[in-house]
Structure 1
Amino acid sequence: MQLIWLRSDLRQHDNTALAAAAERGPTVAVYLLSPQQWQEHDDAPCKIDFWLRNLRELSKSLGALNIPLLIRTAPHWDQAPAVLLELCRQLKIEAVHVNEEYGVHESRRDAAVAESLQAAGITFHSYLDQLLFKPGSVLTKTGTYFQVFSQFRKVCYERLHRSMPSLKQAPGKQSALNITSDPVPVAIEGFPTPGESLRALWPAGEAEARRRLDTFADVQIDYYKSERDFPAKPGTSQLSAYLAAGVISPRQCLHAALQCNQGEFESGKVGAVTWINELLWREFYKHILVGYPRVSRHRAFRPETEALAWRDAPEDLAAWQEARTGLPIIDAAMRQLLETGWMHNRLRMVVAMFLTKNLLIDWREGERFFMRHLIDGDLAANNGGWQWSSSTGTDSAPYFRIFNPVSQSEKFDSEGLFIKHWLPELAGLNKKEVHNPASAGGLFGVADYPAPIVNLSASRDRALAAFRNLPSRSSTGEGDE
């Protein structure tokens, strides 16, 4: 009997470990609930709810193939080896199959499980699945991991020209086993169930993920490059939560993009090429996680930035977290996150730069807050994005590149539609005033809306000074966006 241990791969189609297990013989699936570990990793309640809902859908589709899904609890990953070994002994399992996960804790967990099972004569197979290329296989000429995305992408392109990752066959129906699936819990203690309005935005299941991918590829991908930066437009694929939970695979996404672009990933439709680029960014940050494990340990990718004199400013941090900074684009973006579990990608950069540069608050505070609220929370992507924005990471924005939230707002939400949707108290302002109500005149600005908590120009100078004081920093000029 074969066991597939499901983790961030909650799908039946194009699932490498599931296909491999089913090929070898009768298969059972297991999922481990690890609430203590999830809390340590700052996983958001809406994310845990989303994963449980997807698990329920998966249980149904596996049930139709006579593959039972068992649920076990290992509150902390330290307990995973014992829990899985006991299950393997009960079911007389010959081999356990998993899809690789990345990050220091994940690697340690899998090594411990493999050792414990192998000592008991049970084989442990792990497969490349959530990435297009195995970490360690895309390297510089000197054999190190890339630190710059454009160089990494170039090698990925060369590899894709030579061979395209193929989709894995979904398993067929197997003979019924005398094993009953366990019910998937509706909720987990410590992770309150989100409201219906949030859940309705993110229906569970592979069919929904596929529908989103197909709609995006058929209708929106052509406009992706031109519309993806405008938060009031439906310019993005809305697939990130499904990718993070593995309800859809990057291979499926790549194939869909290629299909609508005559098989091209470097030329042809600029929207498709730009979107494939985003898939490669996701890939890049996971490779960074493996090549530079310190980023898994809350350390800056650029060690010299560990010396930055971040401000201890709990009131400013709370204003940012609670969407009351007095800068409409920041507050609208934070409300979007709090109410939907998701934030538009352009705005993730804008609010991150505001926190780390204008407020000079440690990027780790922002990274943690995002993880605690994002339905698509993913260590590699979230850490990569925060470190990029704070100029502590790989390929990062030069420290003197500081987004001005007001000019970003005027550029990407020129009519104020996004702002007015999330901040209805500003609905009465015209499209010029809505970006910066404090400049709209009137003795007290806008009723019910706070004055800005920081002076953008002075705070920018403060950030530049803090970065200039770091050791071994070289600059080529200064600019503002």
Structure 2
Amino acid sequence: MNQLFWLRSDLRVADNTALAAAMNAGPTIALYLITPTQWLAHDDAACKIDFRLRNLRALSARLAALNVPMLIRCVADWQAVPAQILGICHEHHVDGVHINDEYGVNEQRRDDATAEALQRNGKTLHRHLDQLLFAPGSVKTLAGECFKVFSQFRKVCYARLSYSLPHCLPVPAAQAPMCIASDPVPNTVDGFALPDDALQAYWPAGEDAALTRLGAFAQQALADYQLSRDFPAEPGTSQISPYLAAGVVSPRQCLHAALAENQGELDSGNPGAVTWINELLWREFYKHILVSYPRVSMGRAFRTETDALPWRHAPDELIAWQQGRTGFPIIDAAMRQLLSTGWMHNRLRMVTAMFLSKNLLIDWREGERWFMQHLIDGDLAANNGGWQWSASTGTDSVPYFRLFNPLSQSTRFDPDGRFLRHWLPELGHLNGREIHNPAKQNGLFASIDYPPPVVDLPMSRARALTAFRQLGETL
């Protein structure tokens, strides 16, 4: 009997657990489901959908070399998925369906419903661990609970990796040709605008592009990662996150790339490699949280008491933040980077998130949604985890009284204003001191086409601290 490999966030042929298992079990057909209504409901960015389609086209060629036909089907949302999968199984005499697990509440419900429909019809859904190093629920405290503190989670992960390092699977051998034609991958999907050529060029599609970028980072920038990663004008980060989110590269491939440059060391050796491996484990940590505490993928705070915070309804300030017109150059440059490239430097994700949730005291969920609507690397667990960390509503989050000052963050991490000048050309003529805080320049500010600050920083800090303190007093 034939096997069906249902593609989701795993758009590659190398080190693909479900693909390897399916092809080992029998003649395999690949399937990708386009679900526009579901994507819109999940706030998926147009550039993210375009990136997936471009990677699907590259993947189709790789699968063709393995004689694996790729079917493309379109259904509105995930409620229609079980019937669609079952219909394909009947049409192509499929006995087993293979998937790499996904971890949001809606994803789990979709897969459970599909498994039940297949079982009722004498077929089996085979689930595989792929987008994580460890299965959720397998890294526990001594009390058998999910870790809530990252440092403790990381320690156990290091211990397990030191004696049982997951290996990368090779590209499967080609199977015998099947008399099934592959479907063309559409260029666009209704409801999702096509991004401009510059954005597409910045994020080339395909496994070769992903591995080239990973290799270049590992060889050229990994050693200095811990020193350069916080400076947005420097090429100090891997920028591999879109490829991880779409599954064009696996976390195992990333881990092995770092280990290869660090003589196999996990938590010692080169500080840059150790720091980057920690970032991979933060990604792992947030997905484990997503499974153990489903409320975080349902619009709830991890720390449920913080849902009572008096978030402000300030639509004008929210729009100013969204469009990069707050009057704080580091915030505005970061937001314009997001709008233009579909990506934002990680240090600036924290700075902009803290500014919205604390200085403006606007509900972190507004920011979480805006990021998902524009990020090419939008990932529910990572995005939610980062926002709740910054807003002090999440697990192992920053203390509520810690607020990043956007002015000091700007002068510290973009001292000569190179990043600011790139994204804020209207400030390009200002010197290194003036550009970080143009509103402070006497008589100069009025001649600049740049908005005044939307908030007074000392006042906004005091307001945020009062809100959190009062919350504690009422609980």
Aligned to 2:241: 240
- Give 1:473 shift: 8.8
**1: distance between equivalents of 2:473 and 2:103?**
31
**2: distance between equivalents of 1:409 and 1:169?**
44
**1: distance between equivalents of 2:165 and 2:243?**
22
- Give 1:75 shift: 1.1
Q: Per-residue displacement from partner, 1:11-56 (whole Å, max 9, x unpaired)?
A: 0000000000011111100000010000000000000000000000
Aligned to 1:297: 298
Contact 1:304/1:472 (<8 A) preserved = no
Amino acid at match of 2:231: F
- Give 1:471 shift: 3.1
- Give 1:169 shift: 2.4
Aligned to 2:288: 287
Amino acid at match of 1:147: K
SS in 2 for 1:2: strand
Determine whether 1:94 maps to 2:95.
yes
**1: distance between equivalents of 2:172 and 2:22?**
9
SS in 1 for 2:397: coil
**2: distance between equivalents of 1:400 and 1:291?**
27
Which aligned runs of 4 or more in structure 1 are off by greater than 4 angstroms?
Answer: none
Aligned to 1:123: 124
Contact 2:33/2:75 (<8 A) preserved = yes
- Structure 1: tracts of 5 or more residues without a match: 475-481
Q: How does 1:269-284 map to 2 (within 5 A)?
A: 269-284=270-285
Amino acid at match of 1:189: D
Aligned to 1:477: none
Amino acid at match of 1:52: L
**2: distance between equivalents of 1:422 and 1:132?**
37
**1: distance between equivalents of 2:180 and 2:445?**
68
SS in 1 for 2:411: helix
**2: distance between equivalents of 1:380 and 1:196?**
29
SS in 2 for 1:470: helix
Amino acid at match of 2:284: E
SS in 2 for 1:372: helix
Amino acid at match of 1:100: D
Contact 1:350/1:403 (<8 A) preserved = yes
Contact 2:372/2:378 (<8 A) preserved = yes
Aligned to 2:34: 33
Give the structure-2-normalised TM-score.
Answer: 0.99
Amino acid at match of 1:217: A
SS in 2 for 1:3: strand
**1: distance between equivalents of 2:231 and 2:350?**
13
Amino acid at match of 2:250: S
Aligned to 2:457: 456
Aligned to 1:198: 199
Give the structure-1-normalised TM-score.
Answer: 0.98
**1: distance between equivalents of 2:194 and 2:257?**
33
Aligned to 2:266: 265
**1: distance between equivalents of 2:220 and 2:324?**
33
CA RMSD of aligned residues (A): 1.0
Q: How does 1:158-237 map to 2 (within 5 A)?
A: 158-237=159-238
Aligned to 1:68: 69
**1: distance between equivalents of 2:176 and 2:69?**
11
SS in 1 for 2:9: coil
**2: distance between equivalents of 1:239 and 1:443?**
41
- Give 1:321 shift: 0.5
**1: distance between equivalents of 2:137 and 2:177?**
40
Contact 1:445/1:451 (<8 A) preserved = no
Contact 1:102/1:289 (<8 A) preserved = yes
**2: distance between equivalents of 1:264 and 1:8?**
29
- Structure 2: tracts of 5 or more residues without a match: none
SS in 1 for 2:94: coil
Aligned to 2:384: 383
Contact 1:167/1:251 (<8 A) preserved = yes
**2: distance between equivalents of 1:206 and 1:369?**
28
- Give 1:445 shift: 3.8
CA gap 1:403/1:125 in 2 versus in 1, 3 angstroms: same
Aligned to 1:9: 10
- Give 1:444 shift: 4.2
